[in-house]
Amino acid sequence: MFFMKKAWWKILTVIILYYVIFQGLLGTVPRQPILNETIRNLYFHVAMWPTMITLLLVSMVFAIRYLRSSNTVDDDKSAAFAKAGILFGILGCLSGSLWANYTWGDFWPNDPKLNGAAVGMLIYFAYLLLRSSFEDEQRRARISAVYNIFAFFVFIPLIYVLPRLTDSLHPGNGGNATFSSLDIDNNLRMVFYPACIGWILLGTWITSIRYRLNVIKRVQEERVAELSVNHHGAARAVND
């Protein structure tokens, strides 16, 4: 099973995120022109993207596994990871929009990375709509798995490749200096890397809860269907 049954990793998640939030609000950060205190958003906005990519990558892996095995468990896990990844993508867009307003003077400037992220989110919103469009479970799972693979390989160029080929306000894109050259000092690294780990663990935690809720819902539906069949069978026996 992908989800760890031990509680230690959940405790670790809480500890890491408490540390990240505390340092994000009160920790020492370098004073950079324009960025100033907003560089604290590095622990939140920037860390959301590796979290999102990790969750969407795992979702795609389970989609591939489903196409090979036709096991509904793989489809359920793929959908749960995709939904968690979309959640962190939305949080990344919102926190990035807030940061953009303070540093660039606009909540959504015409920037290829921002636009690519928006298009990518729309592609994954379409994935959610696609899953809700089919009543047949096998057909829904099969078509969703294929679309999931397509969506991931389109999304990565949209947010990582294309912005590097044109002018972009984001560091490391379009000829702009990277964060490292600006000043990601050791103080920032000591919080940023744990932040990435912590948000990924939180995303996995959210996914595990959603997956288990889906399993419970499926079992309840199967029991209701079984009781309905038994009820109809008993009614027929009485009539006979």
- Domain assignment present for residue 2? The answer is no
Q: Is the pLDDT reported for residue 69 higher than 60?
A: yes
16 backbone dihedrals φ, ψ, rounded to 5°: -60, -45
- C-alpha R_g of the chain: 22
- The reply to whether 50 falls in a domain is yes
Residue 150 lies in a domain: yes
Nearest to 1 by CA among 57, 68, 65, 87: 65
The answer on pLDDT for 103 being more than 70 is yes
23 located within any domain:
yes
Residue with token string 């996995």: 204
Query: Can you tell me the distance from the alpha carbon of 33 to that of 31, in angstroms, rounded to the nearest whole number?
Result: 7
- pTM assigned to the model: 0.85
Whether 1 maps to a domain, the answer reads no
Looking at the structure of the chain, the number of domains it has is 1
Asked if residue 27 is part of any domain, the answer here is: yes
* 47-61, 83-97, 223-237: least confident range: 223-237
Determine the length of the chain.
240
pLDDT tens, position by position, 158-177:
888 887 777 766 665 555 55
Interatomic CA distance for residues 62 and 8, integer angstroms: 25
Q: Which H/E stretch holds residue 172?
A: none
Share of the chain above pLDDT 70, in %: 82
Q: How far apart are CA 30 and CA 182, in angstroms?
A: 10
16 lies in a domain?
Answer: yes
What confidence tens digit (pLDDT) does each residue in 11-60 have? Answer: 999 999 999 999 988 888 777 777 778 888 889 999 999 999 999 999 99
Q: Give 169's contacts (C-beta < 8 A, 6+ positions apart).
A: 100, 104, 109, 111, 113, 176
Where in the sequence is the domain holding 169, given as residue range(s)?
8-239
* pLDDT above 70 for 153: yes
Highest mean pLDDT (candidates 136-150, 153-167, 181-195): 136-150
pLDDT of 129 over the 60 cut: yes
